[in-house]
Amino acid sequence: MGKAANRAQLRALGVAAALSVWAPMAMALPQEAARFASIEGGALDLTAWRGRPILVVNTASHCGFTDQYEGLQALQDRYGPEQLVVVTVPSDSFNQELDSAAEVAEFCEINYGLDLPMTDITPVRGPDAHPFYAWLQRSEGVAPRWNFTKVLLDAEGEYVAHWGSTTRPLAPRLTREIDALLTR
């Protein structure tokens, strides 16, 4: 029996539909997952940057990888806000963040001169994870294992790739993915 006949039989049995639930599928970011509280007050909505790739990075001020803020700012400067948006998500999920959003904002401005969009202090793991991270876990099986996990979304808000803490913001394997999105 040929492949087409096998598929037809599976469809008739409903197996294909059941199996498709397990197949990985790219899903655009749902609206509720796109909204964060901004560190400056108000809301920060990722859909405001639709049409541009977005790199979302969970951060912490007392982490051994905190110097990556410099690379994140350099990445934003390299591509410019019209091409790429780098969003930082301060989090105390790994017990390494300052006590208040005001302290985080001041720390980042004084030490790194950041002008990147920044959320309020936000949980990124577990039952209290922000809807963005819950969506990422549910749809892609990705959850930050540590601070400075980088998640790349394409211009339509679909997951592209992620990198752990040890991948520096200007690493070629990360910038190649950004470049590929910008040449589409």
Active site residue 108: no
CA-closest candidate to residue 121, choices 135, 107, 139, 138? 107
Q: Using alpha carbons only, what angle is made at residue 53 by residues 48 and 58, rounded to the nearest 5 degrees?
A: 85
Helices (H) and strands (E) in the chain, counts: 7, 6
Of the residues 54, 56, 63, 116, only one is catalytic, namely 63
Dihedral of CA atoms 89, 85, 157, 67 in degrees, nearest 10, equals: -40
For the annotated catalytic residues, the residue numbers are 63
